[in-house]
Amino acid sequence: MTYLVLARKWRPRDLEAVIGQEHVVAALRNALQQQRLHHAYLFTGTRGVGKTTLARIFAKALNCVGSDGQGGITARPCNGCDVCSAIDAGRFIDYIEMDAASKRRVEEMDDLLERAIYPPNQARFKVYVIDEVHQLSPHAFNAMLKTLEEPPPYLKFILATTDPQKIPVTVLSRCLQFNLKPLPTSMIAERLAAISAAEQISAETAALRLLAQAARGSMRDALSLLDQAIAYGGGAVSHASVRQMLGVVDDALIVQVLDALAARDARALLALAQDMANRGESFAQALRDLARMLHWVALAQQVPEALAEDVEHAEQIRRFAAAFAPEEVQVYYQIALHGRNDLALAPDEYAGFTMTLLRMLAFAPQTAETPRALALGAARSPRATAAVPGPTPRKRVAAAEKPAALPPRTDVAPALPAFLDWPSLVAQLPIAAITRELANCSELVAVRDDVFHLRVPVKTLAESGAVERLRQALSEHFGRPVRVQVEVGAAVDTAAARAAAARSDKQKRAEEAIYGDPFVQQLIEHFGARIDPDSIRPLD
């Protein structure tokens, strides 16, 4: 007997079985019950959240005849009649699924629309489902506009896409649009647990939570990963086997990294990195997990009630929330994200990972002393004791050694913030030529002790005299001497990138305005006119 994968076996067959999309389910159920049926629907959302599943259920609801063959439009298809069975099997003649990723040309759309003039053979409605509709060519979109707006009464369009931004507004305005949300990790884990129990598969709760996190909001991905975990674990799904299958770093190691950061212990951080290298751990995954843990720490600092008791390592997270200043957590989080993105640019991943950890120590904000004893006094696991040298507390100056207090100065400018909106600041600086190019193409990594740390993608910018001219402009702007240090790497949030995004948005709006103009549409429909995309330019 052929094995049916879990993603297909447990695919919802009615609206009651769809999880995480209550807003869409309620709207479709009410429309079916009141028979207020639109002629075109658009389902948007990331992969694996139920777009084509809902399309099939809706097609069954429109055409179900019930067990006695006398049923009508219903919000609860029977899933037993010939129509429901044929749609589930993908062999119903009046239910047509089209993949726009492979059939995107205007000729294929014309062929589909030519068949639309014929009434359904067996059903009440002929249902056209076009998946990944954003991949249709502009000519294919134009060909379907008239039919999409005024289809025959027996024809229903259901469009699905993961990228609605690429769909012309002329199409969007003709559809009822429903945005399907990524599923929460907890909901996916609960569903995996129910399916594992129904399949009589032994599965640990922690293992299912890992699979749910790896699915990133997609129920289909989660079920595929569960299939893989069952095969990997020989019929059982354990936390250890799933962690090994996914390449997930042990959370205890992330706790040790944060303990070493709290202690400002560079030797301990390097020892942990070497331990990871010896065991073949993924440095990219370690930085991702570190960022996730820092996210929970920040939540625990700002909104303590957001940290539920069932969150893994809740006690450790609260300890770090007390051990770190909020500014430190924010800086470490951003450095972890940048470090992960820069791994491909590093000489090797070990160097990139260790430099990221050392950067956290170097750029740690100078804040008031925080109660680090909470972090340093925590009990360490046996593995931590063996692998990591004891932390070296920072030296503190005794009260007797402190100099006499001086009266506060009122003429000293306040310290610069650790992070600024660099692209907005660049626009205010009186610079030009290569200095402007340096500022526009650079990303601000951090500001510490009046030193601007910048990252540029081109080495020549870092070596030019423009760095000194930029330093002078910044000093004049802030009314105090500053320094500029430049490193070479991938720069993301730059003034040039924001300007390019703005230009792209203007171009897109200009194209949408042209394609949506009624006069232009008449020229296309009646005279076969064509639009040259290269001729469209936005107005400044």
Per-residue pLDDT of the chain (540 residues; tens, 9 = 90+): 578 899 999 999 999 999 999 999 999 999 999 999 999 999 999 889 999 999 999 999 999 998 888 888 999 999 989 999 999 888 898 998 888 877 778 888 888 888 888 888 888 999 999 998 998 888 888 888 888 888 889 999 999 999 888 898 989 999 999 999 999 988 999 999 999 999 999 999 889 988 998 898 999 999 999 999 999 988 899 988 888 888 777 778 889 999 999 888 999 999 999 988 888 888 998 999 899 899 989 999 998 887 766 667 788 888 999 889 888 899 999 999 999 988 888 888 999 999 999 999 888 876 544 444 444 444 444 333 344 344 444 333 333 343 444 344 344 455 566 557 888 888 888 888 888 888 888 888 888 878 888 888 877 777 667 888 888 898 888 888 888 888 888 777 788 888 877 777 777 777 777 777 777 777 777 777 777 776 777 765
Q: What angle do CA 286, 290, 293 make, to 5 degrees?
A: 140
Q: Which helix (H) or strand (E) holds 272?
A: helix 266-279
Q: Which helix (H) or strand (E) holds 97?
A: strand 95-99
Q: What digits encode the pLDDT tens for the residues 210-243?
A: 899 889 899 999 999 999 999 998 889 998 888 8
Confidence (pLDDT) at 414? 54
Determine the Cα–Cα distance for residues 413 and 227; give it in Å rounded to an integer.
61
Determine the Cα–Cα distance for residues 358 and 45; give it in Å rounded to an integer.
39
Structure tokens at 94: 């009046």
Contact between residue 84 and residue 92 where contact means Cβ atoms under 8 Å apart: no
Confidence (pLDDT) at 522? 74
**Residue owning tokens 């940290």:** 307
The pTM assigned to this predicted structure is: 0.60
Confidence (pLDDT) at 375? 42
Determine the Cα–Cα distance for residues 117 and 147; give it in Å rounded to an integer.
10
Confidence (pLDDT) at 366? 64
Determine the Cα–Cα distance for residues 78 and 349; give it in Å rounded to an integer.
55
Determine the Cα–Cα distance for residues 324 and 451; give it in Å rounded to an integer.
23
SS3 443: strand
Confidence (pLDDT) at 252? 83
Confidence (pLDDT) at 200? 92
Strand order in the sheet with 126-131: 95-99, 126-131, 155-161, 40-44, 176-179
Determine the Cα–Cα distance for residues 350 and 282; give it in Å rounded to an integer.
10
Q: Which residue in 11, 23, 3, 4 sits closest to 220, CA to CA?
A: 11
Determine the Cα–Cα distance for residues 146 and 133; give it in Å rounded to an integer.
16
Determine the Cα–Cα distance for residues 275 and 338; give it in Å rounded to an integer.
23
Determine the Cα–Cα distance for residues 125 and 63; give it in Å rounded to an integer.
7
CB atoms within 10 A of CB 516: 15
Confidence (pLDDT) at 66? 87
Q: What digits encode the pLDDT tens for the residues 173-184?
A: 999 999 999 999
What percentage of the chain's residues is helix, strand, coil (to nearest 5)?
Answer: 55, 10, 35
Contact between residue 362 and residue 249 where contact means Cβ atoms under 8 Å apart: no
CA atoms within 13 A on the CB side of 393: 12
SS3 430: coil
Determine the Cα–Cα distance for residues 180 and 43; give it in Å rounded to an integer.
7
